[in-house]
């Protein structure tokens, strides 16, 4: 008998019919003998409906009241799921974040979980009840309702699993696992049986948005085995674990992530003295523009080139910040390019394999794909290429690193 | 400076625009110097939408979870109203029933308020904040969310006013006060400046559904001055108070209520011995059929006639209960009539005025309206007439008792 935390996202509980399907799945898991704590999101569309109401009144609604408002979305789902479970003779009990005492800090709309009181849950589980918890929400020490921010239900599930020392935290989504790359682009993309937390983090930050990053960090930190699987079909999904499993099929590059929404800015002929990069990035950060890839190469004659990427939507804002600095910092030129794409090979295996980068650049070179920027970390190699080459680059790398399935569906 | 509890019902907060209008009204009251606790219902339609979701899963949804579900309706409104208030620079703070510790018994879907902790409210009021409370809901001693049943927001408001010893409890609705009778039937119907709790109770139970009965009982018991007024227009509304005010215009019959949805059952030639009426009414009650008017006159030769009314929808169910008893109790005949209407004169003034009944029956007789049943209480005379005479009867009594306005709009 295992203790499993299951989390069902908005699409999985998006209608009364879907909620009944989730109830059926829970009943089957109970019959198989598992103890269950179930975390649910708001029905898909509901959170946006509530935010729409608030913003019709005030574009910047008061954060405390915003949390009171949007937390009702998950509360509706826990009640409906328990109604569906009890109709099936399955004992269940719903909890809001406040009822369960999921204690968070007071940072409304983006609170962090500090502590979870697991006494109620344990008592219910001992009585054979399924515990159904509203995700995404908690309560601060003054009793104010807080929310964890978008996607926070994943984090709720992992935090509950950690508090209960659950055997596994299962995240049910509309995909059946984590893939080597986006199956919509590469028809030979393959579901991974396993992936490490580190790899999952690098994949997620590159646009493979299966799980919320914070929940993966959290799971890694508290060593909660995490499994991503589909609420629409049966299947083992992908297990996200702490360590590579030596006994298993172990490609050194399990995944290939990519991202289209960035733009590149190159400052050319920048004075090569300490603090210049910091001044530039501080000015950008002050406008709340997030910077992703940063590259600076060795300079010549006391001058340097400095490149970085920002979200395409923020390119113009970034440009105007830089124009203001141009004279002060004696920057030679400012070039921008919003027709780029980012592509990353991810794998803890590459730590112990020399030549991954060489193999990557060779594969791209064979297709005459020019690499505009390169950065590397211990388990990731990121390149920026022209956007028009993205699909070709992804498919060629997927083959070059033996990620293709033998017989794609 | 007064402490006022204001309650706004579903229609008054039925859209973002209406919520903003309520916020404007609150801001004006604050500027006038009043301290305010505001109780709100769910946006109109929202509670039914939520119940629809539950019943799509289970026609008899689990009561605990039903309360978790429907209580979200008011939670949405408190948040939106506070967002609208804060946008206007008006300090405000929302509370769910659980956050305010509105302690109820554990009778889900129809809980009764046991106690209210007013400490949080008082602290907020001292800081100049408007306290915004979700109506209709509370929490039991185990922390379960409870609801007070339909219309319970009125009761919440009165209970808060009692706990705070407020100067007045104002119930904002879509009508501008309590009328002598239904203005849709009698165009000379007049708004009452004042009415006593007792009169209001008798009016409410007869179909003048301006306020929920329980809230009026509650207000009477705790001596909370209650005012009904419109959230759409300005005006003094109707004040519901404990005593007749001798100084004011004081008709001994302030109101005329009527009700169309009943049916009459007459058992003729029933053995006149103790316990027979009880057996009949117990059998009816066991089927959850509510009985309204009951009349039994003096019998002859050890036999009697016994009449009562039930809701029209339950006439057939009641009939089949009675058919089963017919032989056992030796009942002569069972007659039913569903083309009847009930009509009641209400007024504490009639205690001290002889001849009210005579004047009533004379007025009806003049119009050749036959009276099928009569019952009386200290402050009410109820008659059952044929339904087709209802409007005529109401108008003639309204005139006969000088209730008409001089110049109807």
Residues A79, B56: C-beta atoms closer than 8 Å = no
Q: Of B19, B50, B65, which has the smallest distance from its Cβ to A82's Cβ?
A: B65
Does B82 contact A at CB distance below 8 Å? yes
User: Which range, of A104-118, A174-188, A249-263, B54-68, averages the lowest pLDDT?
Assistant: A249-263
- Does pLDDT of B1 surpass 80? no
B281 in the same domain as B166: no
- A143:B99 CB<8 A: yes
Tokens at A83, concatenated = 């109604």
Tell me the backbone φ, ψ of residue B55, rounded to 5 degrees: -75, -20
Interface touch B66/A58, C-beta < 8 Å: no
Distance between CA atoms of B200 and A125, rounded to whole angstroms? Answer: 50
Put simply, whether A21 touches B (Cβ < 8 Å) is no
| Chain A partners within 8 Å of B69 (Cβ) | 75-76, 79-80, 83
Min Cα distance A108 → chain B (Å) is 13
Q: Count CB pairs under 8 A between chains A and B.
A: 111
Is residue A75 within 8 angstroms of chain B, CB to CB? Answer: yes
Indicate yes or no: CB of A57 within 8 angstroms of CB of B16.
yes
- Tell me phi and psi for residue B175, to 5 degrees: -115, 160
Please check whether residues B143 and B249 belong to one and the same domain: no
pLDDT tens string B142-201: 999 999 976 689 999 999 999 999 999 999 988 888 888 888 888 888 898 988 888 888
B289 three-state secondary structure: coil
Tell me how close the Cα of A66 comes to any Cα of chain B, in angstroms.
7
Q: Tell me the DSSP string of B68-111.
A: HHHHHHHHHHHHHHHHHHHHTT--EEEE-TTTTTEEE-S-TTS-
Rounded (10°) CA dihedral B347, B349, B353, B357: 0
| Nearest residue, CB atoms, A80 vs list B19, B69, B79 | B69
Specify if B336 maps to a domain: yes
Q: Does B111 touch chain A (CB under 8 A)?
A: no
Is some CB atom of chain A closer than 8 A to the CB atom of B139? no
From A227's Cα to the closest Cα of chain B, the distance in A is 29
Which residues of chain B have a CB within 8 Å of the CB of A95? none
The whole-angstrom distance between A50's CA and the closest CA on chain B is 8
Tokens of A16: 């009364």
- DSSP 8-state class, residue B180: S
Distance CA B19, CA B202 (A): 32
Closest Cα in chain B, distance from residue A76 (Å): 5
Per-residue pLDDT of A260-312, as tens digits, reads 889 999 998 888 777 788 888 888 888 888 888 888 777 777 788 888 999 99
Q: What is the CATH number of the domain that holds B153?
A: 3.40.1160.10
Written in H, E and C, the secondary structure of A164-219 is HCCCEEEEEECCCCCECCCCCCCCCCCECCEEEHHHHHHHHHCCCCCCCHHHHHHH
pLDDT at B247: 46
Decide if B227 contacts B210 (C-beta within 8 A): no
Structure tokens at B166: 């407020």
Residue B222 lies in a domain: no
- Interface check B334 vs A, CB under 8 A: no
**Chain-chain contact of B20 with A57 (C-beta, under 8 angstroms):** yes
Q: Is residue B213 part of a domain?
A: no
More confident residue, A171 or B299: A171
- The span from the CA of A283 to the CA of A289, in Å, is 9
- Asked if B83 reaches chain A (Cβ–Cβ under 8 Å), the answer is yes
* Smallest Cα distance from A273 to chain B, Å: 48
Identify the CA nearest to B177 among candidates B130, B135, B140, B211: B211
Domain boundary among B130, B159, B174: B174
Number of domains chain B is built from: 2
Whether residue B204 has pLDDT greater than 50? yes
Supply the pLDDT for residue B250: 52
* Sheet of A113-116, strand order: A113-116, A102-104, A137-139, A145-147
Q: Do B82 and A72 touch (CB under 8 A)?
A: no
A69·B76 Cβ contact <8 A: yes
Contact A65 B94 (CB under 8 A): yes
Overall average pLDDT of the B229-253 stretch: 75
Across residues A354-369, what is the average pLDDT? 86
pLDDT value at residue A358: 82
8 A C-beta contact, residue A81 and residue A117: no
Nearest residue, CB atoms, A79 vs list B65, B78, B82: B65
Q: Is residue B200 part of a domain?
A: no
Residue showing tokens 């554990």 = B106
At residue B402, the pLDDT reads: 85
B76 touches chain A (CB under 8 A): yes
Pair A264, A309: CB distance under 8 Å: yes
**ipTM of this predicted complex?**
0.78
**B251, B396: one domain:** yes
Most confident of A120-134, A220-234, A342-356: A120-134
Flag whether residue A141 sits within 8 Å of chain B, measured between CB atoms.
no
Distances (CA, A) of A74 to A14, A67, A97, A241, B264: 11, 12, 10, 28, 48
Nearest residue to B223 via CA among B176, B263, B168 = B168
d(CA B127, CA B133): 17
Give yes or no for a contact between B215 and B157, defined as CB atoms under 8 angstroms apart. yes
* C-alpha span between B257 and B269 (Å, rounded): 32
- Give the domain CATH number at B356: 3.30.2130.10
> Domain range spanning residue A46?
3-174
**Distance separating alpha carbons of residues A22 and B366, to the nearest angstrom:** 68
Edge-to-edge strand ranges of the sheet holding A255-259: A255-259, A340-346, A380-386, A371-377
Contact residues, A window 295-314, toward B, CB-based 8 Å cutoff: none
Report whether pLDDT(A245) > 60. Answer: no
Do B258 and B394 sit in the same domain of this protein?
Answer: yes
Q: How many other C-beta atoms are found inside a 10 Å radius of the C-beta of residue B128?
A: 10
Give the DSSP letter of residue B223. Answer: T
Q: What is the mean pLDDT of residues B293-322?
A: 87
Q: Chain A within 8 Å of B86 (Cβ-Cβ)?
A: yes
Classify residue A337: in a domain, yes or no.
Answer: no
Q: Are B254 and B347 in contact (CB under 8 A)?
A: yes
* A214: closest CA of chain B, how far (Å): 27
* B215 in any annotated domain: no
Give the residue from A43, A45, A65, A123 with the most B CB atoms within 10 Å of its CB, the best one to mutate. Answer: A65
Task: State whether residue A253 sits within 8 Å of chain B by CB.
Answer: no
CA distance B156 to chain A (A): 19
Distances (CA, A) of A45 to A11, A70, A74: 9, 12, 12
pLDDT of residue A405 exceeding 60: yes
Q: To 10 degrees, what angle do helices A46-57 and B63-87 make?
A: 30
User: What is the three-class DSSP state of A24?
Assistant: helix
Which residues in chain A (213-232) have CB-CB distances under 8 A to chain B?
Answer: none
Residue with tokens 């406040």: A98
Within 8 A of A65 by CB-CB distance, chain B residues are 78-80, 82-83, 86, 94
Packed helices A63-87 and A16-31: angle between N→C axes, nearest 10 degrees: 60
Place of tokens 């227009």: B233
The tens digit of pLDDT for each residue in A196-214 reads 888 888 876 544 567 777 7
Q: How many CA within 13 A on the CB side of residue A215?
A: 29
Taking CA atoms, B70 is separated from A18, A65, A79, B45, B51, in Å, by 20, 19, 9, 12, 7
pLDDT tens digits along B356-392: 888 888 899 899 998 888 888 878 888 999 999 999 9
Q: Look at the alpha carbons of B88, B89, B90, B94 in this order and tell me if their dihedral is positive or negative.
A: positive
CB contact under 8 A, B62 and A99: no
Query: How far lies B263's CA from each of A161, B280, B315, B316, B386, in Å?
Result: 60, 17, 7, 10, 10
Residue of A nearest to B88 (CA): A58
Residue B15 resides in a domain? yes
Q: DSSP secondary-structure letter at A44?
A: T
CA distance B310 to B294: 10
Place of tokens 């893939």: A179
Q: How many CB atoms lie within 10 A of CB B311?
A: 16
Angle, CA A280 vertex, CA A279 and CA A282 arms, to 5°: 65
Q: Which residues contact A409 (CB under 8 A, 6 or more apart)?
A: none
Is residue B80 less than 8 Å (CB to CB) from chain A?
yes
Chain A environment of B75 (Cβ under 8 Å): 68-69, 71-72, 75
Q: Give the domain-ending residue among B174, B199, B227.
A: B174
Whether A75 has a pLDDT exceeding 60, the answer reads yes
Return the H-helix or E-strand segment holding B195.
strand B194-196
**8 A C-beta contact, residue A373 and residue A308:** no
* pLDDT at residue B241, rounded to an integer: 87
Label residue A250 by pLDDT band (50, 70, 90).
Answer: low
Q: Is A84 within 8 Å of chain B by CB? A: yes
- Beta strands across the sheet bearing A92-95: A92-95, A130-134, A35-40, A3-8, A168-173, A226-230, A238-241, A194-196
State the pTM of this model.
Answer: 0.79
What's the CA angle centered on A16, arms A14 and A17, to 5 degrees? Answer: 90
Q: Identify which of B58, B71, B87 has the shortest CB distance to residue A83.
A: B58
Name the 3-class secondary structure at A348: helix
Burial code (b: 16+ CB inside 10 Å, e: under 16) for A11-44 equals: bbbbebebbbbbbebbbebbeeebbbbbbbbbbb
B197 occurs within a structural domain: no
Is B53's CB within 8 Å of A84's CB? no
Contacts B72 to A, Cβ<8 Å: 72, 75-76
Answer yes or no: is pLDDT of B136 > 80: yes
Nearest by Cα to A202 from A220, A188, A190: A220
The minimum CA-CA distance between A164 and chain B, rounded to whole Å, is 21
Q: Which residue from B minimizes the CA distance to A14?
A: B53
B230-233, long-range: CB < 8 A, 24+ apart: B230/B172, B230/B173, B230/B174, B230/B175, B230/B176, B230/B177, B231/B8, B231/B9, B231/B11, B231/B12, B231/B18, B231/B21, B231/B22, B231/B25, B231/B172, B231/B173, B231/B174, B232/B12, B232/B174, B233/B176
CB atoms near residue A203 (< 10 Å): 29
Question: Could you tell me if A22 and A13 are in contact, meaning their C-beta atoms sit under 8 angstroms apart?
Answer: yes
A118 touches chain B (CB under 8 A): no
Q: Are B76 and A72 inside 8 Å of each other by CB?
A: yes
Q: Provide the mean pLDDT of chain B.
A: 89
Distance separating alpha carbons of residues A2 and A34, to the nearest angstrom:
5
Please indicate whether residue B134 or residue A364 has the higher confidence score (pLDDT): B134
Residues of B in contact with A71 (CB under 8 A): 75
């Amino acid at each position: 008998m295992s203790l499993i935390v299951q989390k069902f996202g908005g699409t999985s509980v998006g209608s009364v019919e879907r909620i009944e399907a989730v109830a059926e799945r829970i009943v089957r898991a109970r019959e198989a003998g598992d103890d269950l704590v179930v975390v649910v999101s708001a029905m898909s569309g509901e959170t946006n409906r509530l935010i729409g109401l608030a913003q019709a009144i005030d574009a910047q609604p008061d954060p405390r009241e915003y949390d009171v408002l949007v937390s009702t979305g998950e509360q509706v789902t826990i009640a409906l799921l328990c109604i569906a479970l009890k109709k099936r003779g399955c004992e269940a009990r719903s909890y809001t974040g406040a009822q369960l005492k999921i204690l968070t800090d007071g940072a409304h709309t983006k609170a962090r979980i500090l502590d979870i009181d697991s006494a109620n849950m344990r008592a219910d589980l001992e009585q054979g009840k399924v515990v159904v918890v509203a995700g995404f929400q908690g309560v601060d020490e003054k009793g104010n309702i807080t929310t964890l921010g978008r996607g926070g239900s994943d984090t709720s599930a992992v935090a509950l699993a950690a508090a209960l020392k659950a055997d596994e935290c299962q995240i049910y989504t509309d995909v059946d696992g984590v893939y080597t790359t986006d199956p919509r682009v590469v028809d030979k993309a393959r579901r991974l049986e396993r992936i490490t937390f580190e790899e999952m983090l690098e994949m997620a930050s590159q646009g493979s948005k299966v799980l919320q990053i914070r929940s993966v960090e959290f799971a890694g930190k508290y060593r909660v085995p995490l499994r991503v699987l589909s609420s629409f079909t049966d299947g083992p999904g992908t297990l996200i674990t702490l360590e590579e499993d030596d006994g298993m099929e172990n490609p050194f590059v399990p995944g290939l992530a990519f991202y289209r929404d960035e733009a590149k800015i190159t400052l050319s002929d920048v004075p090569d003295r300490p603090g210049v990069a910091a001044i530039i990035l501080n000015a950008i950060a002050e406008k709340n523009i997030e910077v992703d890839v940063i590259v600076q190469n060795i300079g010549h004659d006391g001058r340097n080139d400095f490149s970085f990427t920002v979200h395409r939507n923020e390119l113009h804002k970034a440009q105007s910040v830089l124009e203001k600095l141009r004279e002060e910092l004696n920057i030679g030129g400012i070039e921008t390019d919003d027709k780029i794409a980012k592509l990353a090979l991810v794998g803890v295996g590459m730590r112990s394999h020399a030549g991954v980068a060489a193999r990557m650049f060779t594969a791209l070179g064979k297709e005459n794909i020019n690499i505009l920027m390169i950065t590397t970390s211990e388990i990731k190699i990121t390149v920026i290429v022209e956007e028009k080459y993205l699909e070709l680059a992804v498919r060629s790398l997927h083959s070059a690193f033996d990620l293709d399935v033998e017989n794609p569906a």
